[in-house]
A and B are shown apart, each in its own frame.
Chain A
Amino acid sequence: EDKVVQSPLSLVVHEGDTVTLNCSYEVTNFRSLLWYKQEKKAPTFLFMLTSSGIEKKSGRLSSILDKKELSSILNITATQTGDSAIYLCAEGSGGSNYKLTFGKGTLLTVNP
């Protein structure tokens, strides 16, 4: 069973739309929830959310951690074609290990 589940798996929108991407995770020794953007190359970091930092914002992108629902959302407002990418979330576990478990990603396509 997948530990980190992202939805939807793919999404097509028009420029200017607002999108919400979802990520759910398991609670075992939760340390952090990270979001990355992957275009045609390596992933690049967007946000890190923790129990003490549950909301982050950068320009048109924002993310919130819901500790009660064990989930996180990534919002993108006024989408642009340059936002087209795969968006990945990852859970950082705690305890004695430092594993990172990624979800399968959401493929976002923004059409002009």
Chain B
Amino acid sequence: EAQVTQNPRYLITVTGKKLTVTCSQNMNHEYMSWYRQDPGLGLRQIYYSMNVEVTDKGDVPEGYKVSRKEKRNFPLILESPSPNQTSLYFCASSLLAGGRVGEQFFGPGTRLTVL
């Protein structure tokens, strides 16, 4: 089954404790992206990747890191989480067709709470 998986689905942590949210897709998509969704602010792009070893900042990259060492995986790293990073996080992937980001497939989301 074609899908994007994220782990963990729910996480409660404390300020400053490094964490990683994993994202994996099985559709051989070039493009992968991380978003956070907050009430009243909508979906905001954190980082994206056009292919292996190629990443770039979205609109809200501060406090986050990513890496793309394999095509299927795109982990999101919070080196020192803070309460303002409490949010619902989505990973997504898509093909790049004709120089455009195509239909994105979203993971189920990770609800992160930082105390």
Contact = CB atoms under 8 A, between A and B. Distances in A.
Interface of A: 31-32, 34, 36, 41-45, 48, 50, 88, 90, 92, 94, 97-105
B93 to A, nearest CB: 12
Nearest to A45: B103
Interface SS of chain A: strand
Interface of B: 31, 33, 35, 40-45, 48, 50, 56, 58-59, 90, 96, 99-109
B56 A41 contact: no
B43 A32 contact: no
A31 B100 contact: yes
B59 A99 contact: yes
Contacts of A32: 100-101
B45 A101 contact: yes
A92 B58 CA distance: 12
A94 B99 contact: yes
Nearest to A88: B43
A49 to B, nearest CB: 11
B100 A42 contact: no
Nearest to B102: A48
Nearest to B44: A102
Given A42-B107, A98-B31, A88 B42 contact: yes
B58 A45 contact: no
A91 to B, nearest CB: 10
A42 B108 CA distance: 6
B34 to A, nearest CB: 11
Given A31-B100, A99-B58, A42 B109 contact: yes
A70 B107 CA distance: 30
Contact of A41 (B48, B50, B102, B109): B109
